[in-house]
Amino acid sequence: MQRLGIKKGIFSLIIFIVIVELLGSLSSAFAGNIKLKYNILNLPPLSPPDYIFGIVWPILYFLIAIAGYLIIFSNRAPNRVKTASSILFWLQLFLNFIWSIVFFNEHYIWGLIIILILDIVVFLCIVFFRRINRLASNLLVPYLIWILFATYLTIGVAMLN
């Protein structure tokens, strides 16, 4: 871990991953029966079957957690860059957390606003993280691609429902 410029060890990484995965699960729990709600929506073309989300999101949360860990526990970054990166990391996690709750309680326009902001914040995370740790930045690229697809789905649902 020292080679990566990280202050903590594997145990801290595991705890960090568990916390981020739990936040994802809590968001889903607070949103209600997402599977049922998703299946009664009028969906745009290319909408995946509901079970895909249960496969994709845990993987993405795992990648998000590792990226966040590499940034937050980095000992290579100037304070300003690390502080800005850490704020962006927690902000994207918060926006991600509330999006499911808002969207799946039929506030589609607010869900659209939140996910558009999330797109921007995740892009900024990728840019800022690159200054500290290239791997952390790269780990967020699949997440950005997925939420851009989710933005398309959100726009489609907002228009069709």
Helix (H), strand (E), coil (C) string for 46-96: CCCCCHHHHHHHHHHHHHHHHHHHHHHCECCCCHHHHHHHHHHHHHHHHHH
What sign results for the dihedral spanned by CA atoms 139, 145, 148, 149? negative
For residue 115, the enclosing domain spans 1-160
The structural domain count of the chain equals 1
Tokens of 97: 């957390």
First-residue to last-residue Cα distance in the chain: 49
* AA letter at 85: S
The three-class DSSP label of residue 7 is coil
- C-alpha to C-alpha distance for 86 and 16, rounded to whole angstroms: 14
59 or 10, higher pLDDT: 59
The pLDDT of residue 145 is 98
Per-residue pLDDT at 4: 53
The whole-number pLDDT of residue 9 equals 83
Distance CA 60, CA 145 (A): 11
Contact 160/44 with Cβ under 8 angstroms?
yes
**Predicted pLDDT at 77:** 81
Model pLDDT for residues 58-79, shown as the tens digit of each residue: 999 999 999 999 999 998 888 8
pLDDT band at 148 (very low <50, low <70, confident <90, very high): very high
